Structure 1
């Protein structure tokens, strides 16, 4: 469904160029529950931004459902993001003045291709799905962190996207609540057939993935199917292997 081919992303900071992604190649299947693991600064968020068409690669290509994103006009990119990609952010990014129902409904109002009755039915469906039927008239300030993230999950799913991209979705939650959110995402992925791609540095979260991609210094250094409870061991061993092979330091800082 998604193909990332030889993607490199560089940023210019004054006279310095930072390589955030270094020749990354990755395929993502429909309905897959994929974790991107790695320490802070490894390139996880940058990869999600490139896949989600929020940023463009310096070189390489991203293809979504057969469409090469660098060949799309801005209006077609906007349509792609709205109709095929859902986003979940670690800071929740809910609109403070809107209640739960209204926050989830918002992307459907922008989408404009369904009737009022269909829109409201879909919002209620996903409110039920994330277990917040008794909170639909509450505003974000009246919710716990876990409840806010559940609203964010429902909002991301409301447009029925092909893939949901979640950047550190448990970072602002306690351990137990974080696990509950990941379990919820996993259940919805199975029931709805939606692919989920989430970044994290927490092995407990990674253990739920169908596949674990380990990023280090902007490069993929390991890829494991069904990591389960071995996630922490996998990360440690692949970090050590990369050190031995001299593959660290890929995030280059070049003075120009």
Structure 2
């Protein structure tokens, strides 16, 4: 009550705080007009719209923050609006939203351009457009039972560099789909899950070319990605599984199900 803006159902960050500090400040550094909502360990909420009359970025401060779980949402004034920026949590009073120098956070010397490893760039092969032809061995999905496929992924195409309306996709994808299936099920719900041995992402392209993506099923609690599609169209779907670390290939199981009862295994940062 009394909080401004629109937020997603899931928090953008879940923080399990166990440290000791006299002071903490949370703020979102951007060039837009975001809002900030935090659920405290006792279940109460605090929120902020603007740090002051001149600065539209939100800031929340607390003295002697108690240990426990904090859930943080960054909001916007338009539903489902994407606002780029930096979420900052600090226990240093001299670091604040008015004086933060983003460039000063990077202490390393620049890397010479000729020493940079060249990774695959977005091309016509990458998922920037609908794939024109189904894969030769696309699986037909018509039964009520889930289907599974074992995958190993090591893509280098940056999903966050792909223009997707109203979404921010994450991870590094292959230029070709990791899995394709023809959805022939008349169910009104489609769920795609990837259960991996490391933090992965999902990028699913529907028959009409629309894209759905997900990083974590439950932020801070389950790193396995899940894509849910209401009233799925019949036809070919193309699935790309992304990785967050270019140095590590990821193996796991892809699951396609017509039921929300199909749940992913829990993967946490310690697994």
The TM-score range, normalised by the shorter chain, is under 0.3
TM-score by length of 1: 0.26
- The structure in which a higher percent of residues are strand is 2
TM-score by length of 2: 0.25
User: Higher relative CO (CA 8 A, sep ≥ 6), structure 1 or 2?
Assistant: 1
